């Protein structure tokens, strides 16, 4: 559903345009508080907008256990995406990978395993051996792979994370936060939707051994399609979950719960709270014209304007009709215009409180017009300026 279905855009330069009428009844916005969550840290975030719906100790640096593996597979996905690696490539299993303690995929020393199988071994079976095997194949050794993990963490804005290994086994200076894990999970879902489906797979068989996904929510809630569990004595029981209901995706992170059931229950409580009391809407489609603006001295008189990406909002339920959107367009746009140049903004408010503001960009380039056009428009601009000064 978009605003454009409910009213007409008036395309006057510099004019502020209310695109969606406010509700006639001035109903107060009341949202119940988030449920009490028993965990060291947690966060609930809308995937599309990044809006935080609930949080506690979200920036506390904590041991992530196997939640580390979200970053491990993200790095591998990036290597596949840039052509440095392929799903059917074979990785040779080292002694170090084989003897890694904890949860295992049960690879064999000197065996050759497809990258796709190793990824599923990490995602579904939480195999520490598979994690190390991937790290060694991609980077030569786990230390160098950890450097790659940290470089991606910096690029993604994970400001309170540092990784020392690929599997999440306890190590000094190995930590992350609930907020950073939500950021990472959002990037993984956004960049690799085709691979993300593996996180919803409930079991995987390798070497004639079938293991089940430890994420209990995959069986409890059909809207949940990921993401990853983790446990060590230091970290406690952890779970990053994501669910999609009616085109709204939420990401919940719970770290340091007391048991396997507790981490599932607390994530379920967070997700249910978010879906019950909030709703998400795509107001505008990215790179689709919302307006046209006059271009002076160009080979075209107009340029289409829109937002670079889909514009979503997350709001309390039953307040969609209280939204207002205003479009501000620069008064004087002179060629040349490059696609992507900023020429205004879209401002969305709820009860007079701004909830999002996005740049309005040119959706195509406009080159300078011929000499006649430039001279004519120049004269017209001078006349307008003269008239405005009277």
> What positions carry a catalytic annotation?
66, 69, 126
The radius of gyration of the chain from alpha carbons, rounded to an integer in Å, stands at 26
Tell which residue, 279, 260, 285, 257, has the closest CA to residue 358: 285
Q: Are 119 and 135 in contact (CB under 8 A)?
A: no
Q: Are 189 and 242 in contact (CB under 8 A)?
A: yes
Distances (CA, A) of 21 to 3, 79, 317, 386: 10, 47, 17, 37
Residue 162, preceding bond cis, omega within 30 degrees? no
Q: Are 133 and 112 in contact (CB under 8 A)?
A: no
- Residue 42 pairs in a beta bridge with 56, 254
Which tokens hold the place of 38? 């028993």
Distance, in Å, from the CA atom of 268 to the CA atom of 231, rounded to the nearest integer, reads 18
If you count them, how many residues does the chain have? 390
Which tokens hold the place of 76? 């591998």
Share of the chain residues as helix, strand and coil, in percent rounded to the nearest 5: 30, 30, 40
Residue at token pair 């701004």:
354
Q: What H or E segment, with its residue span, contains residue 249?
A: strand 248-257
- For the packed helices 68-81 and 178-191, what is the interaxial angle rounded to 10 degrees? 30
């Amino acid at each position: 559903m978009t605003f454009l279905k409910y009213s007409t855009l008036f395309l006057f330069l510099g004019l502020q345009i209310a695109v969606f009428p406010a509700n006639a009844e001035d109903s107060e916005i009341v949202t119940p508080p988030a449920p009490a969550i028993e965990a060291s840290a947690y966060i609930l975030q809308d995937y599309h907008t990044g809006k935080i719906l609930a949080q506690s100790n979200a920036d506390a640096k904590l041991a992530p256990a196997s939640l580390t593996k979200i970053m491990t597979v993200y790095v591998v996905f990036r290597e596949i995406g840039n052509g440095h690696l392929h799903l059917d490539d074979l990785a040779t299993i080292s002694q170090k990978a084989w003897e890694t303690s904890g949860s295992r995929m049960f690879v064999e020393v000197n065996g050759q395993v497809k990258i796709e199988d190793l990824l599923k071994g990490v995602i579904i079976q939480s195999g520490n051996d598979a994690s190390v095997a991937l790290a060694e194949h991609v980077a030569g050794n786990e230390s160098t792979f950890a450097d790659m993990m940290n470089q991606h963490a910096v690029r993604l804005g994970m400001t309170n994370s540092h990784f020392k290994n690929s599997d999440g086994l306890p190590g000094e200076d190995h930590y992350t936060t609930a907020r950073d894990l939500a950021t990472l999970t959002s990037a993984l879902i956004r960049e690799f939707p085709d691979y993300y489906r593996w996180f919803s797979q409930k079991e995987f068989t390798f070497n004639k051994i079938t293991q089940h996904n430890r994420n209990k929510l995959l069986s409890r809630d059909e809207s949940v399609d990921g993401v990853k569990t983790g446990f060590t004595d230091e970290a406690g029981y952890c779970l990053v979950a994501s669910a999609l209901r009616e085109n709204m995706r939420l990401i919940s992170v719970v770290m340091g719960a007391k048991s396997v059931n507790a981490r599932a229950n607390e994530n379920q409580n967070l997700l249910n709270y978010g879906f019950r009391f909030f709703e998400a809407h795509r107001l505008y489609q990215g790179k689709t014209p919302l307006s046209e603006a006059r271009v002076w001295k160009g080979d075209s008189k107009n340029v289409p304007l829109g937002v670079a990406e889909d514009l979503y909002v997350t709001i309390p339920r039953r307040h969609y009709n209280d939204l207002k959107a205003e479009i501000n367009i620069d008064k004087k746009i002179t060629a040349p215009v490059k696609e992507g140049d900023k020429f205004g903004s879209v401002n969305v408010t709820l009860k007079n409180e701004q909830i999002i503001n996005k740049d309005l960009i040119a959706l195509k380039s406009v080159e300078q017009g011929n000499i006649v056009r430039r001279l004519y428009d120049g004269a017209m601009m001078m006349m307008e300026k003269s008239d405005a000064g009277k």
